[in-house]
Amino acid sequence: MTARAEGAGLAGLASALVASGALRDDWLAAYQAAPREMFVPDRIWPGVADGTRQHPVVDRDKDADAWFSAVYSDIPLTTQWDDGGYTGDAVGEMPSSSSSQPHMVFSMLADLGVEDGNRALEIGTGTGWNSALLAHRLGAENVVSIEFDAEIAKEARENHREAGLSPLVVVRDGRLGYPEGAPFDRVEATCSIGEVPRSWIEQTLPGGLIVAPWGTPYGGEAIVRLTVDGDGASGPFTRSSAFMRLRQQRPGQIPHDAYLKGRPWPADGDRSRTSLSPAAVEGWLVQFAIGLQMAEAFWTVERYDDGSYTLWTYSGDGQSWASADYEPGAESFEVVQSGPRRLWDATEAAYAWWDARGRPDFERFGLTVSREGQRAWLDSPDNPVPVVR
């Protein structure tokens, strides 16, 4: 541990995490033995806690104080863009690896509920910090971490060695898990998924836990805590989250022009008006609730200088689209819909369902995974969320 880490940075972040309830006594020794600075590269892009903004690069060689301040702040740090294809100083097109927000790291470890003697599988090694924490708590021989990017895996192994903690890091598709070392008591994904791979369930002991960020193509995401039971798994969502997607599950989105088939808007769309403001469906929670109901749908926003914008909603098959025009201060909004799926009608219905049930938060929802597929539920597995396709 460096002298800098022993100072206010390490202790200050620990105090904040303890006060928030994220860092508990059983993880404090691991936090101190594996300080975050040992698992962060010299060039980072600090974010904000809610993940909505990204700051330009901070280079340790050029501004060590700013680098240490970022490392020991409760914020996510992007460490790679565009699968390694971007190396500039601003930001790339898509963040592809990071050091997660410490509050989220320790909240998920609390969800994981490890016990002495447990064997743990991590999907998404990243910088290696989370797997180092697990290795300190459980013993390196009991931790396996999967990373798809060979260069990131190499850097994580080096970080582990410097910290004196060396869990097994394997380069492969995370969906496959690690059958060579199965069964595991705990499986944790530090990348988001839209489908729980069958292999993770098969490689987890009955009664074991799978903790992962989960979300639909529409938007919104939360941590799910699944208990494996025989042939499937089920459990509640525990908190909101915003993680980078597992690379093999990144949603492929058809270009906008393909929906309009080269014709200018409104193409063959049907015009109508709605009293539901497009702004009402943009929040992370409402996106999550709507996404659970609208299978294979996603949206984008086209913003204009006067504060107005168009909310576009698309079906994943390329056959249906809808536009809803937001104007500040308006009481009704123009809608255009095209294709076999009336996507704005479905959006309104999904919003109304969520609103009628008291606008339930993430923690009231849950997920059941079986060989037949995935099914989200509200309050109980016996109360499935309706799905419109």
How many CA atoms, within 13 angstroms, populate the side-chain half-sphere of residue 368?
16
Decide if 322 contacts 340 (C-beta within 8 A): no
How many CA atoms, within 13 angstroms, populate the side-chain half-sphere of residue 41?
19
100 belongs to the catalytic site: yes
CA distances from 240 to 96, 213, 260, 363 (A): 20, 9, 34, 9
List the helix and strand counts (H, then E) for the chain.
11, 18
What SS3 class is residue 178? coil
Question: What are the backbone dihedrals phi and psi of residue 216, each rounded to the nearest 5 degrees, phi first?
Answer: -95, 170
| Three-state secondary structure of 286-315 | HHHHHHHHECCEEEEEEECCCCCEEEEEEE
Sequence-distant (≥ 6) Cβ neighbours of residue 243 within 8 angstroms = 100, 190, 191, 192, 213, 221
Would you give the DSSP letter of residue 191? S
Catalytic one among 73, 97, 100, 338? 100
What SS3 class is residue 54? strand
Residues labelled as active-site residues: 100
